[in-house]
Amino acid sequence: MEQIIVYAFPVFSLFILAEYAYGAAKGRNTYRISDAISSLSQGLLSQITVVFTQVFTIGIYTLVFKKVALFHPALWNTWYGWMLTLVLYDFFDYWYHRYSHEKAILWAAHVVHHQSQHFNFTTALRQESAYPLLGWIFYLPMAILGVPPDVFAVAGLAVLLYQVWIHTEHIGKLGWFDRYFSSPSNHRVHHAVNDAYIDKNYGGMLIIWDRLFGTYAEEGEEKCVYGTRPPLDSWDPIWANLTVYWKLIRDAWRMENLADRLRIWFMPPGWKPDYLAKRHPEQPFDISSVILFDPTVSKAMLWFGVIQFALLLLASAAFLWHMDDLPFGKSSMLVASISSGLWATGWTLQGNVRRALLLDALAILVAVLALQIV
């Protein structure tokens, strides 16, 4: 499966270049280099950390399929069985996605995908490293129904890849298609933080789930504003993954009783008991005050960041290609090395040369040590 992702790298690159060229030709560029690298860095992190998360993404599913599956029909190996699997996966994915916006413990992982203040194909690739840790729970009914793990995995990949093309501002409304399928118009609403659009349109391939369960909103005249409430305001990929977890831990520590310390993880994001909200008030979100995060860096630093990322992209592709043949210890160290490099790239794009070079040195040291492992 990881080698399939490597094959997809040049395809994704062509999509991104084509969207950028089209936007530039139309005088409506939706890209910034720093933001694009930040999103793509998150995508690389999510792929290389599969070393640690694959037991959740497919391992538990396979175990339940072997031990608990009620049926093993030949249905799933037919073309209509594959179509049914896609619909089933999309249905359970809708609920996983919806609860990822409604429950703080899931939002803490999913928030990464929403942090970009732009909406383009690199936003689609801004995937979450910690997202698989709890997501497996939502797909277990498919294992119980007897959907084989390989069919399940391909369906999941298909639903994920479908969603790449709907992350664009260059495709308008599509008439009847928008009524049944997730589309660029529908998904722009999902990524927007406007009051009229927030927490709507969760469907991956099909938007019918949102229409059935009351979470649909049509894109109107109000322009979509992208990002999170509040905005991340950082290119640091590690902080991007940890920011909401840190806030949850901080608020849980401040609470007066164990029940509230447990409850906060399963309440909507931003929930606090009244006593804590009064003691530590937060400013309400004001969309008119949203400012595009744009730290000033020299062209030399910007190009240094681009070169760093390009090298890390090649390193990630090589790692994913050989990952199945590497011992776990070696894989873990290479993941740590690439992660440190991506961390350094984030700080490069924010102009912090000293921290970036220290992290680059750490990345090289860990890589050298990893390569000594037989």
What's the CA gap between 162 and 204, in Å, rounded?
Answer: 8
> What local confidence, expressed as pLDDT, does residue 275 receive?
94
Residue 304 has pLDDT above 80, yes or no: yes
Give me the pLDDT at residue 1, please.
62
Q: How far apart are CA 249 and CA 198, in angstroms?
A: 25
Contact 235, 115 (CB under 8 A): no
Tell me the three-class secondary structure of 186-231, residue by residue: HHHHHHECCCCCCCCCCCCCECHHHHHHCCCCCCCCCCCCECCCCC
Domain range annotation of the chain = 2-17+52-213, 299-371
Q: What is the pLDDT of residue 34?
A: 97
**Residue 232 pLDDT greater than 90, yes or no:** yes
CA atoms within 13 A on the CB side of 9: 19
CA gap 43, 126 in Å, rounded: 5
What integer pLDDT is reported at residue 283 of this predicted model? 86
Exposure string of 16-27, with b = 16+ CB inside 10 Å and e = fewer, is beebbeebeeee
pTM for the full predicted model: 0.94
d(CA 98, CA 52): 25
Q: What is the pLDDT of residues 35-81, one digit of tens each?
A: 999 999 999 999 999 999 888 888 999 999 999 998 777 888 889 99
